[in-house]
Amino acid sequence: MKNIIQAVKGTREFYPEQMFARNFIYGKVRAASEMFGYQEWDGPFIEPLELYAAKSGEELVKKQSFTFEDRGGEQVALRPELTPSLARMIAAKQGELNFPVRWWSFGPFWRYESPQRGRSREFFQWNIDMLGADSPEADAELIAVGATFLRSVGLSPSLTQIYVNNRRLMDSQFDALDIPTDKRVDVSNLVDRRAKMESAKWEAYALEIGLNQNQLDGLKSLLGNFDLWKQSEELTRTFTALEALGVKDYVKFDPNIMRGLLYYTGTVFEAFDTSGSVKRAIFGGGRYDNLLADVGGQPLSGVGFAMGDVVAGIILQEAGLIPEFQPSPAQVLVTVFDTTLLPQSFALAAELRAAGLNVMVYPEPTKLQKQFKFADKMKMKVAVTVGPDEAANGQAAVKSLRTGEQVVVTRAAAAEKIREWLK
RNA sequence: GAGCCUGUAGCUCAAUGGCAGAGCGCCACACUGUGGAUGUGGAUGUUGUGGGUUCGAAACCCAUCAGGCUCCCCA
């Protein structure tokens, strides 16, 4: 036992119960995506390293990606994100796609980071994007898809909120405060850290990165102004659309949401669990205008977001929203009386399957008590036994494991009786 | 990449330098054509791994692996 080779650090093993939870999320992701007309797609899991190196900082790529040299000497990476693959695939067919394109994907990603709660090295991520439309209403649609997902898994607005901001709005505010362009990255970092730091330390840090007292005061009042969105035509339209889409109770303007400066150019948003149990965002995204130009395509605006399965899974688990795991997809067990009658049980199981039931048959003759115990542990609803008496008369004993009631019926009538008890 | 905490039976955890234990779960039997409940009995184990200190280590020290918290990062 102790000599078992361990799983790779930061990976997760999906036993049937975890697989069930993962597929639950996948199913809800699919439903929310398809409800809005998005098509499922995927890219390769391995990409040339330069696909990421071109866009992201090289240090980040080298430090936080799983990279290796293949046998042909090519530098490749396990994909750390999907957006560059999306950009390339869109650019390659830019002339023939029917815009606006609505695509979603759910697949594995790898990042070489230090594993901790809510973060693993191998995870699944939902990506969903609309490309070729740049209206505030398109932004609203993506936020509504996210809200629809939250609602569909039972995460009410009191449990989760989507915070919305807009980079252009913030830029104009930074302009008004005379914060120079080359300080914007630092200021974004500063804003991101505000919740994590004590206010005195945070203010000291603000002065440290070169803000003057006047700018700091301006920034503080800016970050406390939750009516600021009214000054942005874009956000005003987005919020109007969100109301029409019926998800207004999920969204709230928050000037503290920045999402870095990497490629977001307009509206940005992040969903959080309001209990604060997990401090990481459930999902986050926004509008980007320059994506395709980076991979050689024609300029094309897009909006999208990504959701990892780790944080979402923890929150759903804690909220008790993952449905009860069923140990077996079958609800019927056909027992085996003894060696002589084993073929009868196998034949009966086949008949029941042909009648459309999911049926397990005990794979070897053993004490009936043990077989019923097994059926109970596997949460079977019905057990069917063909003993000598039943076999002699072409019958089967059908027992409801919920009520304990048992009836002997002809084999031909067994399926119907089982179906009745499964209801 | 840095700091801190944790690691004991399948699970949750006791044992603070002196015989490795409890509860739950598991197995057997009571019950040779039938689960859940009950009773009786049984097995839980390289104390994460490797080394060191000691008459003696689960405990103390060093290293290492894994998980967690914080920083960093978050494409």
What confidence tens digit (pLDDT) does each residue in A156-186 have?
999 999 999 999 999 999 999 999 888 888 8
A370 beta carbon to strand B: under 7 Å: yes
Report the number of distinct structural domains present in chain A: 2
Mean pLDDT by 10 residues, chain A (423 residues): 69 88 96 98 94 65 83 92 92 94 96 87 95 96 98 95 94 92 84 82 87 92 94 97 97 88 85 83 91 82 94 89 90 94 96 97 90 92 95 96 94 96 93
**Boundary residue ending a domain (A266, A294, A318):** A318
* Pair A302, A406 in one domain: no
* Pair A336, A289 in one domain: no
* Pair A292, A259 in one domain: yes
CATH number at residue A367: 3.40.50.800
pLDDT for residue A54: 61
A111 beta carbon to strand B: under 7 Å: yes
- Strands of A49-138 (E only): list them: 67-69, 75-78, 101-110, 122-131
Residue A248 lies in a domain: yes
Cβ neighbours for A122, distance < 8 A, ≥ 6 positions apart: A8, A10, A11, A12, A108, A109, A110
Asked if residue A155 lies in contact with residue A252, where contact means CB atoms within 8 angstroms, the answer is no
* Pair A390, A255 in one domain: no
CATH number at residue A100: 3.30.930.10
What confidence tens digit (pLDDT) does each residue in A385-405 have?
999 999 999 999 999 999 999
A400 beta carbon to strand B: under 7 Å: yes
Q: What is the largest CA-CA distance in chain A?
A: 96
**Boundary residue ending a domain (A259, A290, A318):** A318
Alpha-helical segments (H) within A177-212: 184-193, 199-208
Residue A373 CA and nucleotide B41 C1' are separated, in Å, by 20
* Pair A88, A177 in one domain: yes
Residue A169 lies in a domain: yes
Alpha-helical segments (H) within A54-127: 58-64, 83-92
Residue A369 CA and nucleotide B39 C1' are separated, in Å, by 18
Residue A167 lies in a domain: yes
| Torsion angles phi and psi, residue A81, rounded to 5 | -160, 170
* Bond preceding residue A157 cis, omega within 30 of 0: no
* Pair A339, A303 in one domain: no
* Strand B: positions under 7 A of a protein C-beta atom: 1-2, 10, 26, 28, 31-36, 46, 48-49, 65-75
* Pair A35, A105 in one domain: yes
Range of the domain at A376: 332-422
Cβ neighbours for A179, distance < 8 A, ≥ 6 positions apart: A187, A211, A215, A219
Question: In b/e form, how buried is each residue of A45-74, taking b as 16+ CB within 10 angstroms?
Answer: eebebebbbebbeeeebeebbbbeeeeeee
Residue A410 lies in a domain: yes
Residue A416 lies in a domain: yes
